[in-house]
Amino acid sequence: MARGSTRPTSRDVAQVAGVSQAAVSLVLGDKWRGRVSETTAERVREAARDLGYRPNLAARNLRLGRTRTVLLVVPALTTEFFAGVYTGAARVAAEHGFGVVLYPSPEGIGPARDPFASAQAALDGVIASSMAADALTAIRGDQLPLVMLDSDPEGSLGAATVNLDIADGVRQVAEHLLALGHRRFLHLAADIPSWTFEVRARELAARVGSVAGTSVRTTRAPISIEGALTAAEAALSAPGTRPTALVCDDDKLAAGAYKAARRLGLRIPEDVSITGLDDLALATAIDPELTTVRLDAERFGEHGMRALLAVLDGRVPEEGDIPVELVVRGSTAPPGGL
C-alpha cells in the first residue's frame, strides 16, 4: 500500500503482520486471548500503529448495537483529582475501543445541559462521582448501565461501585497524630453532603474517640482556599483551649488552614499540626510540605472503567476498595511542650 494514498485497511495490517484478517479482528477487538499468542497479538498491534490503522467503528458499532461511548460525570473539570480520574478512565477505554465524554456538573449553577439529544440513544454507559450524582437525573444516566465512584455500596444507584479506601486513609491520619501525642483535634470538613465526606467524619470521630482524653471539634467550609481560611481562622481563634491538630478533608482545605494559622501567628507544625487528603501538587508547593493521604486518581478512573466494561459484558466487576497511603511530611509534629 502506498503510505498516505488511501486509508489503511485490516487487510493491510494482516499483510504487514503476516497473519489472517480474522486474527487482526480478534486482536483489535480484544478477543484474542486463548486464540492467538501474545507475540502475534503484539505484532498485530505494532503493525496497526505503524500503518496508522483505525477500525471502521461506525460499521462495527452497527453490528454490535453499541456507540462505544461512555459518559464520565464529575463535579467540575477544573479539579486536579478528577482530571486524574478522567486520564485513567480514558486510558482503559481506549484500550477497548471506547471513547469517554466528560459531563461537568458545575457547583452553584445546577447541572449542565444534556450533552446529547437522547443520552440513552447515544451512550453505552455512565461512570459518575457521588459528588455529581444529582446530574444523573437530568441526563437519565441512572437508566443506563452505571458505575458509581465514591458511593455507598449499600445505597448505590449503580450496577457497581468503585471506592478508594477513604476510611483507612482517615484511620492512618488519626493514628499518626495520636502517636505523636495529639489529643485535641479540629476537623475542617468539606461542606458538601456526600457519602465520601460522611465516611471521613465518622472514621475520624471513631478512631480519636477510642483513645481516652481526646476531643474532636468540627467546622465546615466550602472546598476552596478562601473558604477554608475563613472557617479555620474562626475555629482556631474561638474561646477555649486551642486544638493542636487540624485534620482537613482535602489538600485545598489544608492550604486555607495554613493561611489561617499564619494570620493568627501560629507556627506549623510547632503550634498546630495540619493534615490533608488527596496528595495534590499543592501538597508539596506549600511550606512546610503537607502530610496527607495519597489517592491514586488515575487508578481510580481505571477501576471505574474496568467495572463498567465488566457490567456491559455481563461479568462481575472486581471487588475491593483501592488502597490509599499516608505520606508524612513536615506539617505534623508532636504538640508543643511534648
Confidence of residue 115 (pLDDT cuts 50, 70, 90): low
Instruction: Kindly state the percentage of the chain with pLDDT values over 90.
Output: 55
Q: What digits encode the pLDDT tens for the residues 229-264?
A: 999 999 999 999 999 999 999 999 999 999 999 999
3-state secondary structure the chain: CCCCCCCCCHHHHHHHHCCCHHHHHHHHCCCCECCECHHHHHHHHHHHHHHCCCCCHHHHHHHHCCCCEEEEEECCCCCHHHHHHHHHHHHHHHHCCCEEEEEECCCCCCCCCCCCCCHHHHCCEEEEEHHHCCHHHHHCHHHCCEEEECCCCCCCCCCEEECECHHHHHHHHHHHHHHHCCCEEEEEEECCCCHHHHHHHHHHHHHHHCCCCCEEEEEEECCCHHHHHHHHHHHHCCCCCCCCEEEECCHHHHHHHHHHHHHCCCCCCCCCEEECCECCCHHHHCCCCCEEEECCHHHHHHHHHHHHHHHHCCCCCCCCCECCEEECCCCCCCCCCC
Whether pLDDT at 138 is above 50: yes
Q: Which residues contact 22 (CB under 8 A, 6 or more apart)?
A: none
Strands 125-129 vs 273-275: parallel, antiparallel or unpaired: unpaired
Confidence of residue 156 (pLDDT cuts 50, 70, 90): confident
Distance CA 278, CA 281 (A): 9
Whether pLDDT at 125 is above 70: yes
Q: What digits encode the pLDDT tens for the residues 300-328?
A: 999 999 999 999 888 888 889 999 999 99
Distance CA 258, CA 330 (A): 12
Amino acid at the residue 150: D
Whether pLDDT at 211 is above 80: yes
Task: Compute the average pLDDT of residues 211-236.
Answer: 95
Q: What digits encode the pLDDT tens for the residues 163-203?
A: 999 999 999 999 999 999 999 999 999 998 888 999 999 99
The whole model's pTM is what? Answer: 0.76
Distance CA 107, CA 99 (A): 25
Q: What digits encode the pLDDT tens for the residues 17-56?
A: 998 888 888 887 777 788 888 899 899 889 988 888 766 5
